[in-house]
Amino acid sequence: MPCPTLALAPDPAHPSAARLTPAFDVVASSPAEIEPVLRGVLRAPLAASALVQLLRGGPARDVEAGLAAESWVYSMLQAGPEFAAWLASRPAPKPAAPSERPPLRVERAGRVLRLTFDRPARRNAYSAALRDALCEALVLALRDSSIEAVRLEGAGPCFSAGGDLAEFGTHPDPATAHAVRTARSAARWLARLAPRLDAVVHGACIGAGVELPAWAARLTAREDAFFALPEVGMGLVPGAGGTVSLPARIGRQRTAWLALTGARIDAPTARAWGLVDRVVPAGEAVPLP
C-alpha cells in the first residue's frame, strides 16, 4: 500500500503477531500508542506516505543508494504543498549574526581527531557552513592514516537542535537542492568512518542532531539528552541521512514511529531501543577513544 500501515498487537511476542507485524510500518501495543501516529499522518499525509515508502525499500539499498533515495524524496517534498504550508505558517526567520568563529572546532589529540559543533548561540543548528566544514574534516580523517579515531560532540547547551531553520526553503529548485545535498553529504563520510567514529551527545538531539551521530560505532548520550525527528510535521522526511542511519540502529518501525509522531524520547528510552550505546551522567567526562 502507498500509505502508512499500522498494526495493533497487544502481545507482539505472540507467534501470530511475530509472523504478521514485520510487514507493517508501525506496530503499537495499545490504541493510545497509535493515536499520535494517526495525528502525524493526518497532519502531513504526503510526507508520511513518502517516509514509509522510503523506509520500506531500505533493506534493498546500500548506504550510497539509501542516501540518494532520501535526497530525492526530500527534494521532491520541498516542492510540495505541505512544506509550503509549513513555511507560510512561520514568521520570517532571523538570519544568524555574522561570526568570525568557525562553526566547527577541529582539534587533534594524538591519534584522535576531535570535531565539535560550535554554534552554541544557535543551538548548534546544522547550517550549510557547518555541513561543509564537517565534510571537509571527515574527508581529512579518511585520507590521513594517522587518525585512528574521530570524536564528534557539540559545544554549549545541546549537541544540535537540527537544521538551521533560517536556511529552510532557500534553494532555488528541487533539482539544485538534490545536487547540493548529495555532493555535500556528511552522512556519506560518517558512514565510511563509522568503525572509527565515537560520538557524545547531550541536550537536544533533533533532526540532524540525531541522524548524524547515529552512524557512530560508539554513541554515548548524557542523561539530559533527548531525541526527535520533526521533519514529517514540516512536510518533509529526515534529510541528513537519518532514513539510513536510524533504521540500522533501531529498525524501520521505530524510525517510522519517531518520524510520524515527532515525539521526543529520553536517553534511557534511546538506550533501551539501541539508538545510543550507553548513558552517562550529565557532568561525567567521557574519555577520548
Here the CATH number for the domain that contains residue 216 is 3.90.226.10
Mean model confidence pLDDT for the chain:
94
As a residue count, the chain comes to: 289
Q: Indicate the number of domains in the chain.
A: 1
Task: Give the pLDDT score at 161.
Answer: 97
User: DSSP class of residue 144?
Assistant: -
For residue 58, is pLDDT > 80?
A: yes
pLDDT band at residue 96 under the 50/70/90 scheme:
low
Asked whether residue 285 is domain-assigned, the answer is no
pLDDT band at 156, cuts 50/70/90?
Answer: very high
pLDDT of residue 14: 83
* Stated pTM of the model: 0.94
Give domain status of residue 286, yes or no: no
**Average pLDDT for 9-35:** 88
Q: CA 278, CA 74: separation in Å to the nearest integer?
A: 31
Q: What's the pLDDT score for residue 177? A: 87
The confidence score (pLDDT) of residue 225 equals 98
pLDDT value at position 16?
Answer: 79
> Which residues are CB-neighbours of 102 under 8 A, at least 6 positions away?
118, 133
| Residue pointed to by grid coordinates 517510522 | 256
More reliable by pLDDT, 287 or 172: 287
Place of cell 514509509: 52
In this predicted model, what pLDDT tens digit does every residue of 201-239 receive, in sequence order? 999 999 999 999 999 999 999 999 999 999 999 999 999
Residue-level pLDDT at 168: 82
Residue 150 lies in a domain: yes
Within 144-185, residue ranges assigned H as helices are 174-183
Q: Tell me which amino acid residue 109 is.
A: A
In a domain, 99, yes or no: yes
Report if residue 1 sits inside a domain.
Answer: no
pLDDT band (50, 70, 90) for residue 139: very high
Q: Is 289 within a domain?
A: no
User: Which grid coordinates are listed for 188?
Assistant: 556519506
Look up the domain containing 178 and give its range: 6-280
